[in-house]
């Protein structure tokens, strides 16, 4: 009887082992989604041409998650239009995805409206806006369904950007600030007072109003331009338009994305965006392995890159002081 019991137990164990493995594999067959704000569908499907998409997928692969094998990554593109996030989020919630990654603060807010419970990982968020919206309680313990990395440490980023622009172009006194909702303009700050700068907020809610914004800036006779956060200006098409406008109007301009000086803008000052997309994969991995967004500390940027286009400076008749050049992470000559 004991021998039979032993053989029965062994047989049961052998039968149970494959079932356990299958259950574990089934558990790992997760479905996540990424809504890209700054891309089109063509750029993110198949083998993506979008750099941020490639970096994110590489980061996931390094952590053992391979799209189409042990995970399904639903890729969607908002193409710079925040209003598209609602429909995309509703579609993805209907597909029962485990979490949604977004690279836009307005997009994160739209997804949270659609589902206040689905985990959200944000790449390059604006901490001030997210706290004001109630999506983050504290950086150490977000407390809700959203976590991720920030591209801004708050108002001081705005002030530092103004300081760099003034240092590069000491003669300026009027600066146009191109921004989009839900970001709020900061026309008067201690930094602008100290720098003796008047900041003119110019709202552009969507790409269709970009030319109108250009007209406002042109008529205001500003000396320089600061491009702030926006759901669409990180898309190459619109970034090209802004860079071309700045060149045509001979406006020294600064933006937080390094793409801007690469396209002919004068300067950029912002976080290492490539590292943020790799970090997004880390957040996804932790949540898929059981962590809750509410308990995952929000990451603040610790390093900001300064890029200066000396060719553009020469075209504008500017001389960038050697001390500022020496502080730059990259100088385009």
Residue 74 lies in a domain: yes
| CATH code for position 243 | 3.40.50.2300
Strand partners, 100: 33, 120
Calculate mean pLDDT across residues 58-81: 93
The structure tokens listed for 16 are 């149970």
What percentage of residues in the chain have a pLDDT greater than 90?
56
* Residue 320 predicted with pLDDT over 80: yes
Residue 168 lies in a domain: yes
What is the number of structural domains in the chain?
2
Q: What is the pLDDT of residues 18-46, one digit of tens each?
A: 443 343 344 457 999 999 987 888 989 99
Instruction: Verify that 49 and 62 share a domain, yes or no.
Output: yes
Instruction: Verify that 317 and 291 share a domain, yes or no.
Output: no
Instruction: Verify that 236 and 102 share a domain, yes or no.
Output: no
Q: Count other Cβ atoms within 10 Å, centred on residue 302.
A: 9
Instruction: Verify that 219 and 319 share a domain, yes or no.
Output: yes
Show the domain range for 201: 155-270+304-332
* Residue 303 predicted with pLDDT over 50: yes
Instruction: Verify that 217 and 254 share a domain, yes or no.
Output: yes
* Residue 205 predicted with pLDDT over 70: yes
* Residue 185 predicted with pLDDT over 80: no
Residue 13 lies in a domain: no
Instruction: Verify that 92 and 144 share a domain, yes or no.
Output: yes
Q: Where are the beta strands (DSSP E) in 231-290?
A: 253-255, 267-271
Q: What is the pLDDT of residues 98-116, one digit of tens each?
A: 999 998 888 899 999 999 9
- The DSSP letter of residue 69 is T
Identify the sign of the CA torsion 199, 210, 39, 102: positive
* Residue 4 predicted with pLDDT over 80: no
Residues 6+ apart with CB under 8 A from 275: none
* Residue 191 predicted with pLDDT over 70: yes
Instruction: Verify that 191 and 114 share a domain, yes or no.
Output: no
ω into residue 182 within 30 of 0, thus cis?
Answer: yes
* Residue 82 predicted with pLDDT over 50: yes
Residue 19 lies in a domain: no
Instruction: Verify that 124 and 239 share a domain, yes or no.
Output: no
Instruction: Verify that 182 and 308 share a domain, yes or no.
Output: yes
Which tops the pLDDT comparison, 27 or 297? 297
Residue 176 lies in a domain: yes
Phi/psi-derived region of residue 135, left when phi > 0, alpha when psi is between -120 and 50, beta in every other case:
alpha
Instruction: Verify that 188 and 321 share a domain, yes or no.
Output: yes
Instruction: Verify that 221 and 266 share a domain, yes or no.
Output: yes
- The DSSP letter of residue 205 is -
Instruction: Verify that 92 and 173 share a domain, yes or no.
Output: no
Mean pLDDT of the chain: 85
Residue 12 lies in a domain: no
Residue 23 lies in a domain: no
Residue 224 lies in a domain: yes
* Residue 14 predicted with pLDDT over 80: no
Phi/psi-derived region of residue 45, left when phi > 0, alpha when psi is between -120 and 50, beta in every other case:
beta
């Amino acid at each position: 009887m004991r021998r039979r019991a032993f053989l029965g137990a062994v047989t049961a164990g052998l039968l149970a082992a494959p079932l356990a493995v299958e259950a574990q594999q089934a558990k790992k067959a997760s479905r996540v989604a990424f809504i890209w704000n700054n891309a089109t569908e063509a750029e993110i499907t198949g083998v993506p041409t979008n750099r941020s998409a490639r970096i994110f997928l590489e980061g996931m692969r390094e952590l053992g998650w391979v799209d189409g094998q042990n995970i399904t990554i639903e890729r969607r593109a908002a193409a710079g239009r925040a209003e598209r996030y609602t429909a995309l989020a509703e579609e993805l919630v209907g597909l029962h995805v485990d979490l949604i990654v977004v690279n836009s603060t307005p997009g994160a807010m739209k997804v949270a409206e659609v589902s206040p419970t689905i985990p959200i990982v944000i790449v390059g968020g604006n901490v001030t806006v997210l706290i004001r919206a109630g999506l983050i309680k504290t950086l150490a313990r977000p407390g809700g369904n959203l976590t991720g990395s920030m591209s801004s440490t708050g108002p001081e980023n705005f002030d530092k950007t103004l300081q760099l622009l003034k240092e590069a172009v000491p003669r300026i006194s009027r600066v146009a600030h191109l921004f989009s909702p839900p970001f709020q303009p900061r026309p008067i700050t201690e930094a602008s007072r100290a720098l003796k700068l008047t900041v003119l907020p110019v709202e552009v809610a969507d790409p269709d109003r970009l030319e109108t914004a250009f007209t406002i800036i042109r008529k205001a006779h500003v000396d320089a331009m600061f491009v702030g956060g926006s759901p669409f200006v990180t898309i190459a098409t619109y970034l090209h338009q802004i860079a071309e406008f700045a060149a045509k109007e001979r406006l020294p301009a600064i933006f937080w994305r390094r793409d801007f000086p690469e396209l002919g803008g004068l300067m950029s000052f912002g976080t290492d965006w490539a590292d943020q997309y790799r970090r997004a994969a880390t957040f996804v991995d932790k949540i898929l392995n059981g962590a809750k967004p509410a308990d995952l500390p929000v990451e603040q940027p610790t390093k900001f890159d300064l890029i200066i286009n000396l060719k553009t400076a020469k075209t504008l008749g500017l001389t960038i002081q050697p001390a500022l050049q020496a502080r730059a992470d990259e100088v385009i000559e």
